């Protein structure tokens, strides 16, 4: 699982750079767009960065736990974390050009997947953290 997170993280950094280039070369320039359109491009771009960096960090540091329930929770968290950059890339490509009218399940799904995946990974470590403190 660690390797998959690392691959998604590295590929995600490349996609983040490419989405930045899309914004830099966009006609009309993103800076000249209506505030609502500009906000959609920039927010989706930054959300993507967050999801990519979390996957990269998890790919560098993930250690699967020994407990059965903890491993299941970690796996569920990993699935959500891996889904997040996919949804957020789609949100950048599909939602951004439409402004607020383009808001859909992709953007919110990507953010909630990032949030839920992170919380599940944290939850999977609760027992380990408590036993390590004793």
Ordered DSSP codes for 32-84: GS-HHHHHHHHHHHHHHHHHHHHHHHHHHH----SSHHHHHHHHHHHHHHHHH
CB atoms inside a 10 Å sphere around CB 19: 20
pLDDT (mean) for 119-125: 93
Residue closest to 120 by CA, chosen among 83, 90, 85, 80:
80
Q: Is the pLDDT of residue 73 over 70?
A: yes
Q: Which of 26, 50, 21, 52 is nearest to 38 (CA)?
A: 26
Residue 128 pLDDT class (50, 70, 90 cuts): low
pLDDT tens digits for range 16-56: 999 999 999 888 888 888 888 888 889 999 999 999 999 99
Averaged pLDDT, 116-122: 95
Q: 3-class SS at 86?
A: helix
Unique residue bearing structure tokens 């660690």: 2
Mean pLDDT of 98-105: 78
How much is the pLDDT for 134?
42
* Res 72: pLDDT: 92
In angstroms, how far apart are the furthest CA atoms of the chain?
60
- pTM of the full structure: 0.86
Per-domain residue ranges for the chain? 2-133
Q: Are 113 and 90 contacting, i.e. CB atoms less than 8 angstroms apart?
A: no
Query: Can you give the pLDDT at residue 132?
Result: 47
Q: Give residue 54's pLDDT.
A: 97
Contact 87, 27 (CB under 8 A): no
């Amino acid at each position: 699982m660690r390797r998959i997170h690392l691959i998604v993280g590295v590929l995600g950094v490349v996609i983040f750079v490419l989405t930045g280039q899309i914004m830099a070369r966009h006609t009309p320039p993103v800076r000249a767009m209506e505030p609502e359109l500009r906000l959609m491009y920039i927010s989706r771009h930054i959300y993507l960065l967050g999801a990519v960096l979390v996957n990269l960090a998890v790919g560098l540091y993930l250690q699967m736990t020994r407990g059965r329930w903890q491993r299941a929770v970690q796996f569920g968290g990993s699935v959500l974390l891996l889904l997040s950059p996919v949804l957020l890339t789609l949100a950048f490509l599909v939602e951004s050009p439409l402004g607020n009218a383009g808001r859909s399940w992709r953007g919110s799904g990507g953010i909630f997947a990032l949030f839920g995946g992170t919380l599940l990974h944290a939850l999977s470590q609760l027992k380990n953290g408590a036993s390590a403190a004793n």
